[in-house]
Structure 1
Amino acid sequence: MTVLPNNLVFRSITGPEELELFNRLPYVQNDELADDLARGRRRPSWMWMALDGDRLLARLSWWCRPQDDAPFLLDLIDVDDSAHDVDRCAVAEQLLRTANAALFPDGVPVAQGTPPPEFLRFVPADWRADESTRRMVEDRVRAVERSGAVPLVERLRYEWFAGYPVPRPSDRLRFRGIESTEDILGLMARALDGTLDAHDRLDLQERSAEEVAAANFADEFANYDTPRTWWRVATLPDGEPVGFVIPARNAYHPIIAYIAVLPEHRGHGYIDDLLAEGTRVLAEEGVPNIRAATDVGNVPMAKAFERAGYDTISAVVNLTWEK
């Protein structure tokens, strides 16, 4: 087996005109790439290929949110799984190292010296059950690990479709809108106590709950252009907050962006009421579908999605570079 062909070329795409070449390797996101480029969520200099003559052996791409000036995620690394004459992991690893060196010559993506953007990969929910699928996922993960990344978390993705029964909250709770940014920030900070979310747990190692909540809000929720009147706070009949749910729409789909029960009210099944209310809000807006996700380790949330009639559509493998 040849580890790396002698004439292997690593380079970024020249522009949208090379998307057909870039998309020769199949992946669930291929249909989104043209729009991502047009809207600035991807840039040609962030989309790299490993070429053996006219043969595409590997590719990668970073992605960003509208408010970002630098890559936010490394969300696409692919290799040609039919290429048995080369070390596919070695090709993907070298592609990542070459692209990193070109894009981040100082070794970091931004001036503040933060680690490289997190890596994620959409995979089948049962990807370990099939040998060929497992090998495909492990090849890509191994290439990223060889560049210094470590596993962070695996998540499950869910989807509800219009036409499915709309879950209804029980009569145990009342729902109100948010009163102010300070109102939702306070609830978000309280909900971080005992959180099962791996990203939040990692952030809480270095920052207070109030700081993590503020950063989460500024990085994501403050940037949604859907109405904040969709956001709902659940209370007991006497007005005491129990939790909250943030229905919204990101750049691709209507979503349940955030859902949480406050620590003192956990264990009573209120998560079902919150999810039902968030689903109802979006369903009444006439959305065709609703996406959501949770960590594999967050079993209560996963079971709530299943009870509410959400389908499990895939898993997501996340790796990160240690600070």
Structure 2
Amino acid sequence: MRPIAGREELDLFSRLPYVLNEELADDLAQGHRRPEWMWVALLGNRLLARAAWWSRVGSDTPFNLDILDVDDSLSAAERVKIGVRLLHTAMSATVPGGSPPPEYSRFIPPDWRDKAATRSVVEDRMAIVEHVGARLFVERLRLEWRPRTPIPEPSGRLAFRPPRDRAELPALMTQALDGTLDAHSRRDLTRMSAAAAATRHYEDELARYTSPRDWWRIAVLPDGEPVGFVVPAHNGYNAIIAYLAVLPRHRGHGYIDDILAEGTRVLAEQDVSRVRASTDLGNLPMANAFRRAGYVNFGREIKMAWS
């Protein structure tokens, strides 16, 4: 069990199939991955298991564990045993001590529970991570808008403008956390104030996107009062709806449809090949808004966390 030597071993690392294999070379080149964060379990020349972490460019610590695979031709007991041993070994060398390890995430089909083979793959990986101390945190829907999907015309109820300054969006994000259904946000609110959670989210994610900030939109009533906001962006992989919210006092009026349509329109005008988004499985109002806007649920994502 060892990390790969470098780019020359990407073919070895990619022998086990997964949707992220095609991104590995670019991720290494851009600094999202490092060879010492990409581990393999070998029996001779046979790849039995692998694990890898991803991080933001410039960070010296992994952000999440997003690849964990085992050879599915092994017996169920062997798959879990080898996977647990690899993950223990790799984590002890990769993850800094003194804090919970980064979350584990895996992209999965939308109907993964309905097919025995697919379900086995997902549950084996989850069992490995559970043996190393993590628990299921949330399941999320992965959503996609595709070109030629109609975008609703503006209703005229709202006007849209970019944020006035750097402080406006975090202030609105703070308000939007009141009553949030998002699992990560709800967890943050048990650990810090709404203002601190909003500021951290803004600085750690939204402010890092290199796409133009004049894509961002504040939705306002005719008198100028903010109703909500949307953050269209590009994360280096896809055009995305990075954040979408209606402020508490304006919920229940259908404004989310106008705001999502505006964010989608901004990205569609950039002639993108698709727009991606995600939301928690249990966040039905948000999921329904994306469905009404023509977004397709093309996959799901499992997230597991160490407490």
Short-chain TM bin? over 0.9
- 1:84: Cα distance to partner? 2.9
Residue in structure 1 matched with residue 26 of structure 2 by the alignment: 35
Q: Letter of the aligned partner of 1:117 in structure 2?
A: P
Residue in structure 1 matched with residue 282 of structure 2 by the alignment: 297
- 1:300: Cα distance to partner? 0.8
Tell me the distance in 2 between the aligned counterparts of 1:172 and 1:259.
Answer: 18
SS at match of 2:53: strand
- 1:163: Cα distance to partner? 2.2
Tell me the distance in 1 between the aligned counterparts of 2:249 and 2:60.
Answer: 39
| 1:258 lines up with 2:243 in the alignment | yes
Tell me the distance in 2 between the aligned counterparts of 1:277 and 1:92.
Answer: 45
Residue in structure 1 matched with residue 202 of structure 2 by the alignment: 217
| 1:91 lines up with 2:77 in the alignment | no
SS at match of 1:246: strand
Tell me the distance in 2 between the aligned counterparts of 1:67 and 1:32.
Answer: 18
Q: Letter of the aligned partner of 1:221 in structure 2?
A: L
Tell me the distance in 1 between the aligned counterparts of 2:77 and 2:116.
Answer: 20
SS at match of 2:84: helix
Aligned 8 A contact 1:56 1:80 in 2: yes
Tell me the distance in 2 between the aligned counterparts of 1:266 and 1:226.
Answer: 29
| 1:18 lines up with 2:3 in the alignment | no
SS at match of 1:181: coil
Aligned 8 A contact 1:235 1:241 in 2: yes
Q: Letter of the aligned partner of 2:11 in structure 1?
A: E
Q: Letter of the aligned partner of 1:175 in structure 2?
A: F
Residue in structure 2 matched with residue 49 of structure 1 by the alignment: 40
Residue in structure 2 matched with residue 61 of structure 1 by the alignment: 52
SS at match of 2:186: helix
- 1:101: Cα distance to partner? 1.3
Q: Could you report, residue by residue, the CA deviation over 1:199-237 in whole angstroms, capped at 9, with x for unpaired residues?
A: 010011010000000000110111111111100011111
Aligned 8 A contact 1:169 1:274 in 2: no
| 1:196 lines up with 2:187 in the alignment | no
Residue in structure 1 matched with residue 262 of structure 2 by the alignment: 277
Tell me the distance in 2 between the aligned counterparts of 1:58 and 1:170.
Answer: 53
Tell me the distance in 1 between the aligned counterparts of 2:76 and 2:271.
Answer: 51
Q: Letter of the aligned partner of 2:40 in structure 1?
A: M
Tell me the distance in 1 between the aligned counterparts of 2:178 and 2:154.
Answer: 25
Cα separation, partners in 2 of 1:291 and 1:85, compared to 1, 3 Å: closer
Tell me the distance in 2 between the aligned counterparts of 1:300 and 1:246.
Answer: 18
Q: Could you report, residue by residue, the CA deviation over 1:98-148 in whole angstroms, capped at 9, with x for unpaired residues?
A: 0011224xx62xxxx331111100011111111111111000001001100
Tell me the distance in 2 between the aligned counterparts of 1:67 and 1:156.
Answer: 29
Tell me the distance in 2 between the aligned counterparts of 1:145 and 1:268.
Answer: 42
Number of residue-to-residue matches in the alignment: 307
Residue in structure 1 matched with residue 62 of structure 2 by the alignment: 71
Tell me the distance in 2 between the aligned counterparts of 1:177 and 1:148.
Answer: 43
Aligned 8 A contact 2:31 2:58 in 1: no
Tell me the distance in 2 between the aligned counterparts of 1:15 and 1:68.
Answer: 19
- 1:168: Cα distance to partner? 2.8
| 1:164 lines up with 2:155 in the alignment | no
Runs (4+) off by over 4 Å: none
- 1:14: Cα distance to partner? 0.4
Tell me the distance in 2 between the aligned counterparts of 1:82 and 1:75.
Answer: 22
Residue in structure 2 matched with residue 101 of structure 1 by the alignment: 92
Q: Percent identity?
A: 57
- 1:85: Cα distance to partner? 8.2
| 1:176 lines up with 2:127 in the alignment | no
Q: Letter of the aligned partner of 1:47 in structure 2?
A: M
> RMSD between aligned alpha carbons?
1.1
- 1:285: Cα distance to partner? 1.3
